[in-house]
Amino acid sequence: MTHRSGRHFLQIPGPTNVPDRVLRAIDNATMDHRGPEFGRMGLEIFEGLKSVFQTKQPVVIYPASGTGAWEAALVNTLSPGDRVLMFETGHFATLWNKMATRLGLSVELVPTDWRRGVDPAAVEAKLKEDRAHAIKAVCVVHNETSTGATSRIGAIRKSIDAAGHPALYLVDTISSLASIDYRHDEWGVDVTVAGSQKGLMLPPGLSFNALSDKALKASQSAKLPRSYWSWDEMLANNKTGYFPYTPATNLLYGLHEALKMLAEEGLQNVFARHARHAEATRRAVRAWSLEILCSVPEEYSNSLTAVMMPAGHDADRLRKVILEAYDMSLGTGLGRLAGKVFRIGHLGDFNDLTLAGTLAGVEMGLELAGVPHKKGGVLAAFEHLTESARAPSRKVA
């Protein structure tokens, strides 16, 4: 290995760059997870999490990656053979479907072209057809990390209500929480699934379920086998700031600090910052004459942008050139998008100059790899950044 000077640009759509404040917090001596100091920290964390999920309901923390929290959402609320409605918006929706099927649920997977979110009208139509209310849950990925398309969670809630259907509403916010506006209570979500390694600016290793009263009620009669993921023991212990088993103490130090940072910036400012950087990125992509994968502007993701490669050019070759020349990692194309797209992560601990460096690396990489494009993407992004920084209502992030 040869030393490379300067900091690596980790611009995949998660895990994201971990800020120094969080790294320093994690770097403290591990404490007794049954002692008084831990209990105090635990209570502060559970309170802080509620504001990030925009909920008054409990939020459960698992020492697991996001996939674990997917499983927890399903096994706590459903029974073998239950019908579940899912939408194939991209790679991650496909994986959630695979898990649900393995767990013995009966999934109806509605296909899409992987360039958009879930159509709220399709949800309403599917639920209206189900007069016997056999569908027990509707599962939606808020921000499809593989495509850079979001689903309109509030509008889908309205569709479920318009159909007069009692299905539970389960939402994956693994790459949207603390980056894109998300309202667990207002949007009537029953279980929100999230992970630590994206908008929360932590390393991978923690994941979350935000609950509703309806989800808690469903968990009393749900029959899928569960032990480790079970909410009941978790919630009983969490009341005093503790956990039923050994928690990931040092990651929790990091979470404690990250929640303080998000509160200091203000959640609405965090969302506005992500929206502004996403818009600047899209302007760069258009100026390069490349195509954004998401085809529905109102569903553009503010945490990442997936960029389509011109025909005959391999996205992974471009990523390799950029990694070798500029020490920057970009997201690969997943599933059926392999080789066809690269993904620019613009979420988490991120500012104007991080974006400037990221887009400069992409533009130079396009040139170096011989990918047909127009110059000027970086300038188009800069113009948006400076214009929007001048707007009187905006504090520069």
Ligand X SMILES: Cc1ncc(COP(=O)(O)O)c(C=O)c1O
- Quote the least distance from Cβ 258 to ligand X, whole Å: 16
- E strand or H helix at 387: helix 377-390
Among 77, 145, 179, 388, binds ligand X (CB under 6 A): 145
Among 65, 79, 237, 295, binds ligand X (CB under 6 A): 65
**Distance between CA 273 and CA 348 in Å, rounded?**
10
Among 174, 206, 308, 378, binds ligand X (CB under 6 A): 174
Using omega within 30 degrees of 0 as the cis cutoff, is the peptide bond preceding 15 cis? Answer: yes
- Quote the least distance from Cβ 2 to ligand X, whole Å: 30
Indicate whether 195 belongs to the interface with ligand X (CB under 6 A): yes
- Quote the least distance from Cβ 280 to ligand X, whole Å: 22
- Quote the least distance from Cβ 209 to ligand X, whole Å: 13
Indicate whether 141 belongs to the interface with ligand X (CB under 6 A): yes
- Quote the least distance from Cβ 204 to ligand X, whole Å: 6
> Strand, helix or coil at 60?
strand
Residues 6 or more apart in contact with residue 289 via CB below 8 angstroms:
372, 373, 374
Q: Which is nearer to ligand X, 14 or 361 (CB)?
A: 14
Can you tell me which residue has the tokens 């609405």? 268
Indicate whether 329 belongs to the interface with ligand X (CB under 6 A): no
> Strand, helix or coil at 48?
helix
Token code pair at residue 352: 């104007």
**Distance between CA 158 and CA 137 in Å, rounded?**
15
Residue 194's nearest CA partner among 109, 280, 92, 277 is 92
Q: Which is nearer to ligand X, 306 or 366 (CB)?
A: 306
Among 124, 172, 257, 363, binds ligand X (CB under 6 A): 172
Indicate whether 201 belongs to the interface with ligand X (CB under 6 A): no
- Quote the least distance from Cβ 90 to ligand X, whole Å: 8
Contact 117, 149 (CB under 8 A): yes
Q: Which is nearer to ligand X, 149 or 262 (CB)?
A: 149
- Quote the least distance from Cβ 103 to ligand X, whole Å: 16
Q: Which is nearer to ligand X, 209 or 388 (CB)?
A: 209
Q: Which is nearer to ligand X, 88 or 172 (CB)?
A: 172
| Encoded amino acid at 102, one letter | R
Indicate whether 14 belongs to the interface with ligand X (CB under 6 A): yes
Among 63, 66, 254, 361, binds ligand X (CB under 6 A): 66
- E strand or H helix at 111: strand 106-111
Token code pair at residue 113: 């072209």
Number of residues that bind ligand X (CB under 6 A): 12
| Encoded amino acid at 277, one letter | H
- Quote the least distance from Cβ 172 to ligand X, whole Å: 5
- Quote the least distance from Cβ 192 to ligand X, whole Å: 12
Token code pair at residue 260: 């303080």
Q: Which is nearer to ligand X, 195 or 333 (CB)?
A: 195
By rule CB under 6 A, what string of x and - marks binding of each residue 75-114 to ligand X? -----------------x----------------------
Q: What are phi and psi of 312, to 5 degrees?
A: 85, 0
b/e burial code for range 86-119 (CB count within 10 A of at least 16 → b): bbbbbbbbbbbbeebeebebebebbebebbbbbb
Q: Which is nearer to ligand X, 304 or 369 (CB)?
A: 304
Q: Which is nearer to ligand X, 39 or 204 (CB)?
A: 204
- Quote the least distance from Cβ 140 to ligand X, whole Å: 11
- Quote the least distance from Cβ 363 to ligand X, whole Å: 26
The sign of the CA dihedral 393, 14, 378, 312 is negative
**Distance between CA 347 and CA 226 in Å, rounded?**
33
- Residues pairing with 308 in the sheet: 291, 341
Q: Which is nearer to ligand X, 300 or 382 (CB)?
A: 300
Q: Which is nearer to ligand X, 64 or 321 (CB)?
A: 64
Q: Which of residues 253-282 bind ligand X (CB under 6 A)?
A: none
Residue 212's nearest CA partner among 54, 92, 45 is 54
| Encoded amino acid at 25, one letter | A
Residues lying near ligand X in the complex (CB under 6 A):
14, 65-67, 92, 141, 145, 172, 174-175, 195, 204
